[in-house]
A and B are shown apart, each in its own frame.
Chain A
Amino acid sequence: MTSADVLQFVASGLQNGAIYALVALGFTLVFASTGIINFAQGEFYMLGGMLVAAGVAAGVPLGVSVAGAVVITSAVGCLIERAVLRPVRSAGPLALIIITIGCSMLLKSWIRHLFGPDERAVPPFSGSEPVALAGALIQPQVLWVLGITVVAAAGLTVLYRWTRLGLAMRACSISHDAARIVGIDTARVVMLSFGLSGALGALAGAVVAPITQTAYDVGARMGLKGFAAAVLGGLGDPVGAIVGGLVLGLLESGAVAVVSGTYKDAVALVVLLLVLVLRPQGIIGRHLGEKL
Chain B
Amino acid sequence: MSEALVVDGLSAGYGRVEVVREVSLRVAPGEVVALLGSNGAGKSTLLKAICGLVAPWAGTVSIGHEDVTGRPPEHLVRRGVALVPEGRMLFGALTVSDNLALGAYAHRDPTQVRERVLSLFPVLASRLGQRASTLSGGEQQMLAIGRALMSRPQVMLLDEPSLGLAPRVVADIFDVLDELRADGIAVLLVEQDANLALKHADRGYVMRGGRIVMEGSARDLRSNDDVRLAYLGSWHRKERSDADLES
A residues in contact (CB < 8 Å) with B: 164, 167-168, 170-171, 174-175, 177-186, 287-290
Knowing A182-B77, A182-B103 are in contact, say whether A287-B85 is a contact too (CB < 8 A): no
List chain B residues, Cβ under 8 A from A174. Answer: 91-94
A175 touches B105 (CB 8 A): no
B53 CB within 8 Å of chain A: yes
Tell me whether B98 is interfacial, beta carbon within 8 Å: yes
Instruction: Verify B105–A184 contact, CB threshold 8 A.
Output: yes
Distance, CA A184 to CA B72, complexed state (A): 10
Given A174-B91, A184-B102, A287-B93, 11 additional A-B pairs, CB 8 A: A170-B91, A174-B92, A174-B94, A180-B53, A180-B74, A181-B51, A181-B77, A182-B105, A183-B78, A184-B74, A288-B93
Give the CA-CA distance A177 to B53 in the complex, in Å.
7
Bound CA–CA A164/B106 (angstroms): 11
The CA of A58 and the CA of B170, in the complex, are separated in Å by 70
> Complex: how many Å from CA A183 to CA B153?
12
Expressed in whole angstroms, the minimum distance between the Cβ of B61 and any Cβ of chain A is 15
Is B101 close to A, CB under 8 A? yes
A181 in contact with B91 (CB, 8 Å): no
Chain A min CB distance to B41 (Å): 22
| Contact of B85 with A171 in the complex, beta carbons under 8 Å | no
CB atoms of A171 and B72 under 8 A apart:
no
Q: How many residues of B contact A (CB 8 A)?
A: 26
Task: Kindly state whether residue B73 has any CB partner on chain A within 8 Å.
Answer: yes
Interface residue ranges of B95-153 to A (CB < 8 Å): 98, 101-103, 105-106, 131, 147, 151
Q: For the complex, give the distance between the alpha carbons of A181 and B101 in Å.
A: 13
Asked if B20 is at the interface of the complex by the 8 Å CB criterion, the answer is no
Q: Which B residues are CB-close (under 8 A) to A167?
A: 98, 101-102, 105
Nearest residue, chain B, Cβ from A188: B74
- Find out whether the CB atom of A290 lies under 8 angstroms from the CB atom of B53: no
**Chain B residues whose CB sits within 8 angstroms of the CB of A181 once the complex forms:** 51, 53, 73, 77, 82-83, 85, 89
Report if B90 contacts A (CB, 8 A): yes
How far, in angstroms, from A167 to B99 measured CA to CA in the complex?
Answer: 10
Task: Write the chain A residue with the least CB distance to B52.
Answer: A180
Judge whether A185 and B74 touch: CB under 8 Å.
Answer: yes
Given the complex of chains A and B, what is the CA–CA distance between A179 and B106 in angstroms? 11
Which residues between 8 and 65 of chain B lie within 8 Å of chain A, taking CB atoms? 51-53
Let me know if B91 and A175 touch, CB within 8 A. Answer: yes
Question: How distant is B158 from chain A, measured CB to nearest CB, in Å?
Answer: 13
Docked-complex contact B91 and A289, CB < 8 angstroms? yes
Q: Chain A nearest CB: distance from B5 CB in Å?
A: 16
Q: Nearest-CB distance from B68 to chain A (Å)?
A: 14
Contact yes or no, B102 A175, CB < 8 A: no
Residues of B within 8 Å of A179, CB to CB, are 102
Provide the residues of chain A in CB contact with B90, threshold 8 Å: 178
Given A167-B98, A167-B101, are A182 and B93 neighbors across the interface (CB < 8 Å)?
no
The distance in angstroms between the C-alpha atoms of A174 and B106, with both chains bound, is 18
Closest chain-A Cβ to B133's Cβ sits at a distance in Å of: 9
Pair B89/A178 contact, Cβ less than 8 Å: yes
A182 to B103 CA separation, bound complex (whole angstroms): 5
- CB pair B72–A182 under 8 Å, yes or no, is no
Counting chain A CB atoms within 10 Å of each CB, which of B52, B93, B131 scores highest? B93
Write out the residue numbers on chain B whose beta carbons fall within 8 Å of the beta carbon of A287.
93
Residues of A within 8 A of B74 (CB): 180, 183-186
CA distance in complex: A211, B53 (Å) = 50
Q: What's the nearest-Cβ distance from chain A to residue B55, in Å?
A: 12
- With both beta carbons as reference points, the residue of chain B lying nearest to A289 in the complex is identified as B93
Residues in B with CB closer than 8 Å to A177 are: 53, 85, 89
What's the minimum C-beta distance from B114 to chain A, rounded to whole angstroms? 14
Contacts of B93 in A (CB 8 A): 170, 174, 287-290
